């Protein structure tokens, strides 16, 4: 079936709104049939002066916020090779480790008589550069905050569930011209919001609700050789030989690390270049044709923390349920004023497609106010005899957060 797709975007104020409307496509899986019409607007970034960072689109004009006029993509400008609008959009796939010259290597799949051809894709994603200025002498971390989100809009079709936002830290320098030309790969980060939410079609095909799935991202093309190995959710399976297992995508809402980059201080080069990518992940089990009819809103918000204000770790030690209330006991000396969050999971395998997943069960939070925290009461009861993965994070504005992951056994 011929695809008819159209995607346009305007970067306006770091609140990015993507509207997707279906034009055609009747097959079950949008990986191969997606037809969309889209627009993006409202890109709104703010950085508190107290945090010691500012942002720019040209590595010279520093502000606490950026707007549409700051993205100059004309010839010879720093954003010349950025893509803030595209004429067509289809799902693509990549993996966090597949980077060449500071760019993720994306691949798309094209159908033909039941066979599929994989090929490199250099157009079906948004991409642009952000520059961050560390105004101090000490290194800072740059983290996504809980104010960041990807949600479905008025026409809710679960389009948000396969959206990805990727970051590549390309390097740092004190000279604007030098930092603009950087295309390194210092660090990568892929954000998978809503990772534990499932689309109706994925659930109908047997996927587990409230579970963060690993998936097999496409990492190579097939040189024209037909690919027929598909799994029960319509994704190209690992057996096809062109994929890499992905388990490193982050979801800050369930306690995954929020740290995107380290911003060096004066001695390390105070300007850091980060390339940002936005795409629909075709190998996500929620990337179905129905999602093409939805609209999505994306908001990115950042915070920075100094190495001198790193929070102390808290570690889970036991789970105890009495009268239907579960209390998590944690050890370690906390930080006054910090909020400690606990996230409880079970690590299981979806035997239908041989994919591992973390089933998210419950959470809980407590603030170190007058006395140190030794217990956190969870929102939901956890009492079954099993091994649980418990993540405990510490957060405090302007500080580097803490995070531990521990197996706790109820026997």
| Comparison of pLDDT for 287 and 372, the residue scoring more | 372
Buried b (16+ CB within 10 A) or exposed e, 384-398: eeeebbbbbbbbbee
pLDDT exceeds 70 at position 402: yes
| Comparison of pLDDT for 92 and 48, the residue scoring more | 92
Query: For the ranges 63-67, 75-79, 137-141, 290-294, which has the lowest average pLDDT?
Result: 290-294
Strand ranges (DSSP E) for 6-125? 6-7, 15-22, 36-41, 45-46, 53-56, 65-66, 99-100, 103-104, 106-112, 115-121
| Comparison of pLDDT for 223 and 51, the residue scoring more | 223
* Cα(11)–Cα(86) distance, integer angstroms: 12
Are the CB atoms for 197 and 211 separated by under 8 Å?
A: no
Q: What number is the average pLDDT over the span 238-242?
A: 76
Give me the phi and psi of 42, to 5 degrees please: 80, 80
**Which helix H or strand E contains 151, and what residues bound it?**
strand 149-152
Are the CB atoms for 145 and 258 separated by under 8 Å?
A: yes
* Cα(264)–Cα(134) distance, integer angstroms: 7
Tell me what pLDDT residue 291 has. Answer: 58
pLDDT exceeds 50 at position 3: no
73-129 pLDDT, tens digit per residue, is 999 999 999 987 766 567 899 999 999 999 999 998 876 556 778 889 998 888 999
Tell me what pLDDT residue 155 has. Answer: 63
* Cα(339)–Cα(359) distance, integer angstroms: 24
Tell me what pLDDT residue 51 has. Answer: 60
Tell me what pLDDT residue 180 has. Answer: 97
Tell me what pLDDT residue 113 has. Answer: 59
Measure CA of the first residue to CA of the last residue in the chain; give whole Å: 54
**Mean pLDDT over each residue of the chain, to the nearest integer:** 81
pLDDT exceeds 80 at position 239: no
* Cα(357)–Cα(349) distance, integer angstroms: 6
Are the CB atoms for 261 and 139 separated by under 8 Å?
A: no
| Comparison of pLDDT for 27 and 358, the residue scoring more | 358
Tell me what pLDDT residue 175 has. Answer: 95
Q: Which domains does the chain have, with CATH numbers?
A: 6-305 (no CATH), 311-410 (2.60.40)
pLDDT exceeds 50 at position 38: no
Tell me what pLDDT residue 13 has. Answer: 34
pLDDT exceeds 70 at position 340: yes
| Comparison of pLDDT for 100 and 199, the residue scoring more | 100
304-326 pLDDT, tens digit per residue, is 887 667 899 999 999 999 988 99
């Amino acid at each position: 079936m011929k695809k008819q797709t159209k995607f346009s975007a305007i970067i306006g104020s770091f609140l990015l709104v993507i509207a997707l409307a279906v034009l055609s496509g009747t097959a079950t899986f949008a990986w191969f049939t997606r037809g969309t019409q889209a627009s993006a607007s409202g890109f709104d970034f703010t950085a508190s002066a107290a945090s010691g960072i500012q942002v720019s689109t040209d590595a010279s004009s520093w502000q606490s916020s950026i707007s549409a006029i700051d993205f100059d993509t004309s010839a010879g400008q720093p954003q010349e090779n950025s893509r803030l609008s595209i004429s067509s959009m289809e799902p693509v796939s990549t993996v966090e480790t597949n980077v060449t010259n500071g760019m993720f290597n994306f691949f798309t799949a094209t159908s033909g008589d039941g066979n599929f051809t994989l090929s490199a894709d250099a157009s079906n994603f948004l991409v642009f550069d952000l520059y961050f200025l560390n105004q101090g002498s000490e290194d800072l971390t740059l983290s996504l905050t809980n104010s960041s989100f990807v949600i479905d809009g008025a026409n809710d079709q679960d389009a948000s569930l396969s959206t990805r936002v990727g970051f590549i830290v390309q390097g740092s320098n004190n000279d604007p011209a030098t930092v603009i030309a950087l295309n390194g790969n210092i660090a990568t980060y892929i954000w998978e919001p809503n990772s534990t939410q499932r689309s109706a079609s994925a659930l109908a095909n047997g996927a587990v609700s409230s579970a963060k799935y690993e998936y097999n991202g496409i990492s190579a093309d097939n040189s024209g050789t037909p690919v027929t190995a598909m799994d029960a959710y319509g994704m190209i399976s690992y057996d096809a030989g062109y994929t890499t297992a992905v388990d490193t995508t982050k979801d800050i809402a369930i306690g995954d690390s929020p740290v995107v980059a380290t911003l060096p201080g004066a001695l390390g080069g105070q300007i850091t270049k980060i390339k940002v990518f936005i795409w629909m992940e075709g190998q996500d089990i929620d990337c179905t044709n129905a999602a093409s009819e939805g609209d999505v809103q994306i908001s990115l918000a950042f915070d920075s923390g100094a190495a001198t204000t790193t929070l102390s770790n808290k570690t889970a030690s036991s789970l105890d349920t009495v009268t239907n209330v579960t209390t998590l006991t944690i050890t370690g000396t906390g930080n006054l004023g910090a909020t400690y969050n606990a996230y409880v999971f079970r690590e299981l395998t979806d035997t239908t497609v041989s994919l591992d997943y973390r089933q998210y069960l419950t959470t809980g939070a407590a603030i170190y106010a007058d006395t140190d925290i030794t217990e956190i009461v969870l929102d939901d009861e956890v009492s079954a005899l099993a091994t649980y993965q418990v993540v405990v994070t510490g957060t405090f504005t302007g500080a580097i957060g803490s995070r531990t992951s521990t197996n706790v056994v109820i026997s």
